[in-house]
Structure 1
Amino acid sequence: MDTEAKTTEKEESNEDNATVSQPDNGLTNDESLESNETQKADTVNSEETVDEVASENIEIPDANENVAKEAAEAKTSETNEKGDEVINEIEESNAEDAEDEGNKERHTIEVKDYDTMSLEALAIELEKLLKNEKVQAIKSHVDNINAEFKTKFQALIDEKKEEFLNDGGNEIDFYYSSPVQKRFKEAYKEYRRRLNEHYQSLEKNLKQNLANKLEIIEELKGLINLEENINTTYKHFKELQERWRTTGPIPRDKYNNAWNSYHHHVEIFYDFLHLNRDLRDLDFKHNLEKKLMIIDRAEELAQDDNVMRAFRELQELHKMWKEELGPVGREHREEIWERFKAATKIINDKRQVYYQEIDKVYEKNLETKLEIIANINAINTQESKSHSSWQKKIKEIEELRNAFFNAGKVPIKLNESTWAKFKESVRIFNRQKNAFYKGLKKEQYKNLQLKLDLIKIAEDNKDSDDFEATTPLMKKIQSDWKKIGHVPRKDSDKIWKQFKSACNSYFDKLHAKRNAANQENIDAFNKKHDFLSALKDLKLTDTKDKNLAIIKEQITQWRTLGRVPNDKRYIEGKFQKTIDGLLTSLNMDKNEVEMIKFENKLDSINTSDDDHRNLDNERSFIRKKIDEVKSQINQLENNLQFFTNVNDDNPLVKEVHQNIKTHKESLKLWKSKLQKIKELY
């Protein structure tokens, strides 16, 4: 039964009482009331209650009128059922809110898209809420922030654990913490502390407020027994009403019983108030004016596009209707209640449509997330046997993972199960990936041992004087080194330097012996030394072509001077630096200058059998640079995918395009250099 309907029968009988003049039966006021109550008890039946039969002026409806009334009520009961449901919902909500004065503040706090925030942004948002809002008003916000932080931090831990295991770590030794986690925990701990303090204070206040309201009820009971002027009693009654309204919240489980008891005794006082009809009519008029204002506001809210704001204010209007205002005249009751209930139904219907639209969005998000999970599962079924293939899959999974986190909320009843499916699909991928890389690590450690064996051979023979027997051996282990696959990255540079040092030590010794017996090489060194000294004083003209011809002529002359001893090869580097300086001073295309420099460098490398390692080293270096540039280009092109909705004239996008162009020009140059080396083989 709705709020107004709960009081209708009682209020109707009160209206009847208002038409009866005080009986002149020789009794005191109290005696007259007692007599009237006795008469009321005699006239109660199962269909309706007549509060008081004090004189022959009271009209009791006949049976036909009752039947007609019941038929009309039955006809409209189905129509009113939904309206009654939402009114009951509002009353229950108001009962809960009665325990917490902070609920109004809660509605004013902006609800942000916490699911799209980073870990650091979530920590900052929690700190802002603690700083700027009442702790009792932010519970739903904090709960959402905490849930999102836990989800995203667990995903981060999973990532770090994968990296740890891929690097050969033992799962039992894994541990990870971060400053943002510490920051969030401190803020959340402070929130819990403040909330506990609030509830402890609130509990104390709720109990005291309940005691105060029960005391008001007791005073209401005693009003009808006071032997004083009715105007004085009425004034006392109004004071009690004001005290009731200003008394703070009480425990929600006591709310309905306390209010019903209060309302019951207010009605009893109105029964008593028939002794002074002017006062009661004045109260009826006041209540009618206030209720009409409430109805007008409710009808305005029914046109408000902000559905949730309208519904929250509607709750307040129902609270005012129920708690702050008494009955109105009988002729207005049903009309104004039906108007109020109609406006309530319109607002609630719009709220239901609003929730349905939100549900559609959540359902769409659910479809997106389930599709992402299906894509991850599809990747899990694909077989990969190479590092490059797995790297591609890792990038795909990372993109899907980010898409999952950015897909938005799903229906709350499916949130946990959807998250569980996502975690399981990612776990399966990680298990497969870890199994592959564990096998790859095993193979890399096997390759490491093979290369360590070659290093031992090189170091055992680097000081050998048996050049005829040792030289073929040293060349063979260099060739074998190239055929062995990858080793763990942390060991790669270290063992290469060891191997290179041992081999160079042997071949430098070999070359030193040959150079000692080769006076021609020494003569060539002396000539190049003199030539280099003269070259430093070379004067160029103002014409680019002439200057280029002069520089090339110097390079040609340098080549004719012959080969210098190995221990004097540093002079070739000095010559190259000098030529590079001259070329750089010319106003020429950068790539053209680079190629001239490179050709000059190649000419300085002796391509005899003993010095093939110099070309090998140069070729390996260039291939490594080509791979690095390709990797940088791929990274930049991947970065462009994040700017799909950004105009090409955006400065950041322009910069990325320019970087890609620069790297592609560099790649072209390195490939040209590699081709030059291939031509020498």
Structure 2
Amino acid sequence: MTTENNISDNEEKVLNPDSENMANSPENFQKPESSEINTEELEKNDDLNNSENLLETAVLEEHEINSETNSPEQSLPPHAELSQTMPSLNENIAEPEEIKEPEETEKPTIEEEKSEEFSDSKFEVDNDVIVEQKLNSSAEILAKLEKIANLQDSGVHFKEFNELKDQMQTLIQSESAASKNKLSEDETSHYVHPYTSKLNVVLHMFREKQDAYHKDLEVKQEENLKNRQAIIDRLKNLYTNSEAGTNLFKAIREIKEDWSNAGQVAKNEFKLLNNNYFFHLNQFYEMLDMNKEFLGQEHAHNLEKRQHIILRSKELIDEPSVQKALNELQYLHKLWKEESEPVAEEFRESTWLEFKEISNKIHDRKAELFTKIDAEQAENLTKKNDIISKMKAIASPEKEVNHSYWQQSIKKIEDLRTEFLKLGSVPKKMSNKNWADFKEVLRQFNSKKNDFYKGLKNTQQENLDKKLNLIQTASDNMNSEEWETVVPLFKNLQEEWKKIGHVPRSQADKVWTDFRAACNTFFNNFREKNNVSEDNWKENLKQKNEILSELKNITDEEGSIEKIEELKNGWNKIGKVPRENLSINTEFNKTLREKLKLNKINEFDLKEEGLSEAQLSDKARKIKNQISDLETEVVKLGNNLGFFADSSRNNPLLKETYVKIDDKQAQLESLKVTLHQIISGE
């Protein structure tokens, strides 16, 4: 008896050279190595299947079972889940949000990656989304991308989508370059391709659907696992607890059809699940007193499947895409092993040899693929080295640069980084060096950029401290009505503010708001006070002149103290006088001190004559508070003088300020003497 020979070492999995999954790490690319389908087990299964056929014949003729056999499918190692979708190469769509050094992560080898991609996919011959040829118009490509992104199951078409995306980006670059050549330099810097925005929207929509597709796939795999376990339970019950009169032929056909349509499950669950199914299927065939009609129908059904597989494999010989042909061939081998057993003995060997011969012809085309991969890798190396050179030029500017330069450079580096990572693999012997050069130039750029902003941050902090000091001075004086002194002060503060540079962005709005509020408060008060009628000011001046004349005529006669007190209170009740007559206040204070000295009494004793002994401590407390307030006012006036370049007494703008300081100093000395007398009991 002849058996199926081992399939040649051409039955290996080959990575699509267009896949981006291998582009980002140089260590991971290697040419595919042979991985034969385990045909020794196929031969073993042929023997088992022949034994099974003999056994089934014996059951029909003699109605007795002589031995136990296993289905050929049971000993064959599964390559992937049942009824998976046709394999296609995954290409991730990635848009980096910030400049960062790529991480060196271990990625799967070509064979591992292709094996995973194959086992998670299903071939669809009539898929109208497959891109057979490149489109020439960016509008056509964008429309095609949008059509795929709007599909309900767009996640399964990621390979076709990525091929179109690469065409679109190439066209946009070429069209943008052509358009910029026709524009001036200023127009070129602001030029944006009209399809860029819409392309980003389509890419974002597709990426969201692809993520949702993978999440949904995990849920479906879990549901499919439960369904397949339920099918196995039905199969087990069919030969252990079947009721009398059950149509076994119909029941087993429904179970096998349900199993075939149950959908994919997780890889780690498949092998045990598949072996369990075929174990119970063999048990069913062993217990079933199968008639020749049933066996013939089963063989005919499986033979028809084999013929369809052979027909499709012949079409793959002339498939333009070698990678597509290899991927689909692997899927056809899975179908052969899982869904086309058993067949009649006279067709078993012949169909297998025909399928094997066709498979060898397809695998002979792999040399074309390797030649294409070598050429693409050499081209990728040239492009990546050019990108590294551009990044070095940006990271090492010839002249001193500013904030604007680094902001523009960040975008340029990000674009170059994205372009670099999007390119495919390079020759293995140059891979490590190319990757190291790329990481090094990124480190250089980030280091110089960070050094620039660290220095800028220190300068901005110093500027912030200066502005906070100006805000404090403005806040301390914003309610002052000493216009002759404080108006020049605020003008000087505003000039100083303009001279100070930038502050940290997080504080810029706050410090400006605080400073502006203090300035607005002061000048609003200033305008409000100076809007008083000029007639009222003149009337006030007239009343103050009358009081001043009365004060000058007072002598040291009895009752003069009460008169002085009355005049002082009347003076304080009168409002402002015209600015040019402000000196009358100084004259009044000077005359008041002279009259008090003449009468040998302190100014602050005017209202406190005749206090009881119990009230003396309260009087001392009040004087202490007055001393403290006067000292604070003297210090504030002295600080305000420091904001003027010429703060000497000869400065006419500061004349009034110095008079006020002298008056307050005199009052301060007088209060200290009075406080000493109260404490000492004099």
Smaller-chain TM-score bracket: 0.3 to 0.5
Name the structure, 1 or 2, with higher relative contact order (CA <8 Å, separation 6+). Answer: 2
Larger helix share, 1 or 2: 1
Normalising by the residue count of structure 2, what TM-score does the alignment of the two structures yield?
A: 0.39
Normalising by the residue count of structure 1, what TM-score does the alignment of the two structures yield?
A: 0.39
